[in-house]
Amino acid sequence: MQAQTEKVKCLIIGSGPAGYTAAIYAARADLKPVMYQGLQPGGQLTITTEVENFPGYPEGKSGPEMMEEFKAQAMRFGTDTRWGIITEIDLSKRPFVAKADDGKMLEAETVIIATGATARWLGLESENKYNGFGVSACATCDGYFFRDKVVGVVGGGDTAAEEATYLAKLCKKVYLIHRRDELRASKAMQDRVFKTPNIEPVWNHTVKEVLGDGKVVNGVLLTNTKNGSEKKLDVDGLFIAIGHTPNSQIFKGQLETDENGYIKTIPGTTTTNIPGVFAAGDVQDHVYRQAVTAAGTGCMAAIEAERWLSAQE
């Protein structure tokens, strides 16, 4: 016999700055939000050592600590936060029917999607070891820590070109490491790279290993894609800029997405193509990808969900 279906006004899928902010606003609007935190409660910030660019934290804060504070604030107003993930959802009719990984079924009047995006990594053990200690996937977040230092950027698309030019303003030197002999980035981005004197492209090379002293990064070992020879570069940090994958797979075929899987929202809103379903944070934002912008769209999603519910009554 099937377990009884739980009825909820507002289901929030995913946590992180977008999910927790949506929960704070939804709870204060008496929507009694139920949040499934996802595989990585707190989102990408939980693998960030120090966050210094979020307003209100003048001394900076570790990512995990910050997310615990966001969570505590959401719970203070009555958010029901739960471990686990939503594995299936039917958005074809209201109430929307969702299934959690423990088999629990939920009927939701509104859904806020805050599942985020996952940075693509090279898949090296050494990369994982130094993640947060010289290895990063976000120049805007972590570039400040490498002022006047030497860094490497891995990638050849617009993301890599953008990260390299951003870092070039802060760092003494930037190596742009790419496996081919030309960039895939747009012409405009390529021009910016080639006009920046302290960016040095390293063509036809891949990263074999991230080197360090056991605490922080101090170099990178590269392999030549043409002849297999190896060389070492002395760097203080390595930025992986090979893209992100939005965590939107369970909504495939139901919500409109762009060619990369980011959920499309009506510009200036968090409204998706399905009334009553809202998307906030990095799952719908491939441009800014910042904690503060994610929090902003979380706020928007909750306000829009509350107004939408009011209009239905």
Give CA–CA dist 263/46, Å, rounded: 23
DSSP state of 102: T
Listed residue (30, 9, 12) closest to 21, CA to CA? 12
Which strand (E) or helix (H) includes residue 213?
Answer: none
Catalytic residue IDs: 138, 141-142
Q: Which residue has the tokens 């599942």?
A: 115
Q: Are 107 and 43 in contact (CB under 8 A)?
A: no
Q: Are 135 and 240 in contact (CB under 8 A)?
A: yes
SS3 string, 57-99, reads CCCCECHHHHHHHHHHHHHHCCCEEECCCEEEEECCCCCEEEE
| Strand 34-36 versus strand 80-82 pairing type | parallel
Give CA–CA dist 30/187, Å, rounded: 50
How is residue 46 written in tokens? 């939980």
Q: Are 205 and 198 in contact (CB under 8 A)?
A: no
